[in-house]
Amino acid sequence: MARHIQDLIASRRAVLGAFAGLPLLHLAGCASPGANTPASMSQAANFTSIAANNADTVTLPPGYSWRPLISWGDALFNDMPERANLETLTRAQQERSFGGHNDMLAAFAAEYAFPPPANADRMILCANNEYVSPELCFPGVQAPSDFTREQIEAMLASIGVSVVEIARDGAGWRTVRHAPGAGRNRRITPFTPALFTGPAARHPWILTASQIVNDSEPRRAGDTAPEEAVRCGTAANCAGGLTPWGTYLTAEENFNGVFFGAPSDEAMHDGAYANDAQSFGYARGADLWRDKLPRQFLTSENPHGPSLYGWVVEIDPYTPDDAPKKRTALGRKKNECASTALAADGRVAVYMGDDQRGEHVYKFVSNGRFDPANRAANMDLLDDGKLYCAEFLENGGGRWIEIEVSAANAAAQAQGSPLRFTDQADVLVRARAAAGVLGATPMDRPEDIEAVCDANWRGLGSVLIACTNNSNHSPERPGNPRRDGAENNLTGHIVRIDEDGGDAAAVNFTWDVFVLAGDPNAEAPTSATRSGAPAHVSTEIGGAPTFTGDRFACPDNLFIDKTQRVWITTDGNDGVFGDCNDSVMVTPLNADGARPVKRFLTGPVGAEICGPLMAPDERAFFCAIQHPGGNDVSGEDYSDLRWRDAAQRPPSSFPDGGDAWPRSAVIVITRDDGGRIGD
């Protein structure tokens, strides 16, 4: 996520705080496996842990190798240069090249099948392109005020989603480029036509903003999108998920980052709007680029523009002309993920986190049922269902609270809150406000959420929630531990919930702390962060360690392999443990006592590690290296370095090395003997 490292560096808190043992807490860190997840299936990883390091490369255990698969600016079509020139990049070029700041990855078989094939030599890779760092763009620009409108539009076009076909041959995995109009490669940017579907599709804010966007961004010749499409595309794409019917769910998160300028006083006089602007952080002052930005991204001229973002967007990777669909039934928030599992009766559950301190965990359950024999019949399942928010209880239980207009209004009135919702569409547009009054538990930045499923996508009941951290002073809450008297959670943790009856559609669950991130080998309860501030690094709950092995902080994205090993990427580890770049950690889902954690990978300087993914046969591991060079090994942000001294080069040259400018990239990792990753 954008600049969470800085939250860690800036934190000058004293030591962290106390955690009272809970009656139903598994003190050994989920020592008891879920009803349908036998412990024998969870295998410890079989590789030599790598040492902590600050190398400007990808470091792996002996016997493993990596190489770039595709990087920012690489061509998607064969009628263009293989790589864009980052000094002269245009919007038109970027709209046909791999995007920047890649986050989540998802892979689909070259031809749809259910269940997905266990082996594949051709796939379609979808990658989120989360945001843009101007300091890492256009190397020749001397100051932020020097960016031109054309360069700003090119940077905006680097955001969104990249879809690219990949294939495996004797040399390993590679990308496949096609002639324009052939194949399935494409970019989806903040300028691409998109459709709003579901209960909130015609909310007044969305209709008003849509008209302004379409006036600002005229329809292009050859555009085959329906007339009602809005040329707002997608932005701030963080994590997401896949559906059993072979579509990609991309989650829009920090969308406030693409809006500039302050809303008008008239707009802010609307209490609902003012609450929304404050909650999402898009009520900002005048911006340096005000006269260079497309009108749709100026809140002063398009105050309701932010309502077009914060959705889960469904993309059909098999149909490149199909317009992305913003599924409003899943609610608007800073979505971090959208992970699916089939309920016992065939309904579809979608788990989502709202990645902001003090926000909530959500679940959508469709009313319709998945039909494995009829892909077309499943295409609108996410337009009709119930949206829930999670309440974690002190006794280790929990419940899913339905987010519904009459209940939200009644709760607000009972609390003396001025919040009111006009209808269910309004509740979905302002889902986080509704969740708050309904009693959802504020969380420590809930990011990726992964359900444990069988080979047929049926949820087995266990669900992991990565809570990256909370550097603010805030009280201990159920599901959000504090260590020995502190009021923050600088290193983060992972929560495990177990749905009642092992059913993804259940309305009750139990919970425990899967891992309390930190340093299990620390000699003292506190450790100095890279900035010199103290951080409590205990990994214990009730005197029992939650894990052994290699230290880590700030869990972000998760991947669960076929033997139920959990692969954890970090975002901000170097802010806490300054001698180690962000990493990939591995631990079994089920363990007796404290679970063993091993460090599998470290990334280059200043990079976040995202999107862990394996090929279906698990003989290749893919991950995203986001914003290499975003900060140096001392923790100083490159934006400060560059604009203080325009001649200052980024602290990374990944992935090309030498004097190359850094580029976000997707890499592929294999075992030198061709074996299965982790065995």
- pLDDT tens, 480-527? 999 886 788 999 999 999 999 999 999 999 999 999 999 999 998 898
pLDDT band at 31 (very low <50, low <70, confident <90, very high): very low
Whole-angstrom distance, CA of residue 169 vs CA of residue 153: 37
pLDDT band at 288 (very low <50, low <70, confident <90, very high): confident
Q: What is the pLDDT of residue 318?
A: 98
pLDDT (mean) for 11-21: 24
Whole-angstrom distance, CA of residue 363 vs CA of residue 388: 5
**For 212-226, 419-433, 629-643, which range has the lowest pLDDT when averaged over its residues?**
212-226
Q: Tell me the angle at which helices 431-438 and 271-280 cross, rounded to the nearest 10 degrees.
A: 90
Q: Which helix (H) or strand (E) holds 211?
A: helix 204-216
pLDDT tens digits, 138-165 = 999 999 999 999 999 999 999 999 999 9
Q: At residue 6, does pLDDT exceed 80?
A: no
Whole-angstrom distance, CA of residue 49 vs CA of residue 54: 15
Amino acid at 232: C
Q: At residue 610, does pLDDT exceed 70?
A: yes
Q: At residue 17, does pLDDT exceed 70?
A: no
> Which of 669, 488, 458 has its CA nearest to residue 567?
669
Whole-angstrom distance, CA of residue 271 vs CA of residue 267: 9
pLDDT band at 222 (very low <50, low <70, confident <90, very high): confident
Residues of the chain with pLDDT > 70, as a percent, come to: 93
- C-beta atoms surrounding 220 within 10 Å: 10
Q: What is the pLDDT of residue 43?
A: 78
Handedness of CA 449, 424, 160, 491 (dihedral sign): negative
Q: What is the pLDDT of residue 502?
A: 98
Q: What is the pLDDT of residue 419?
A: 96
Whole-model pTM: value is 0.94
Q: What is the pLDDT of residue 168?
A: 97
Residue 45: partners with Cβ closer than 8 Å, 6 or more residues away: 565, 586, 587, 588, 598, 600, 678
Distances (CA, A) of 65 to 122, 326, 464, 600: 21, 38, 29, 12
pLDDT tens digits, 322-364 = 999 999 999 999 999 999 999 999 999 999 999 999 999 999 9
Q: What is the pLDDT of residue 284?
A: 76
pLDDT band at 221 (very low <50, low <70, confident <90, very high): confident
> Which of 552, 557, 579 has its CA nearest to residue 490?
552
Q: What is the pLDDT of residue 42?
A: 67
Alpha helices per DSSP H over 18-148: 91-94
Handedness of CA 273, 279, 283, 287 (dihedral sign): negative
> Which of 116, 121, 146 has its CA nearest to residue 134?
146
Q: At residue 287, does pLDDT exceed 80?
A: no
> Which of 363, 585, 565 has its CA nearest to residue 452?
565
Reported as half-sphere exposure (CB side, CA atoms, 13 A), residue 76 has a value of: 28
pLDDT tens digits, 408-450 = 999 999 999 999 999 999 999 999 999 999 999 999 999 999 9
Q: What is the pLDDT of residue 451?
A: 98
Q: At residue 667, does pLDDT exceed 70?
A: yes
105 and 622 in contact (C-beta within 8 Å)?
Answer: yes
Q: What is the pLDDT of residue 286?
A: 66
pLDDT tens digits, 563-606 = 999 999 999 999 999 999 999 999 999 998 899 999 999 999 99
Q: What is the pLDDT of residue 18?
A: 23
Whole-angstrom distance, CA of residue 638 vs CA of residue 632: 7
322 and 194 in contact (C-beta within 8 Å)?
Answer: no
- pLDDT mean across residues, the chain: 92
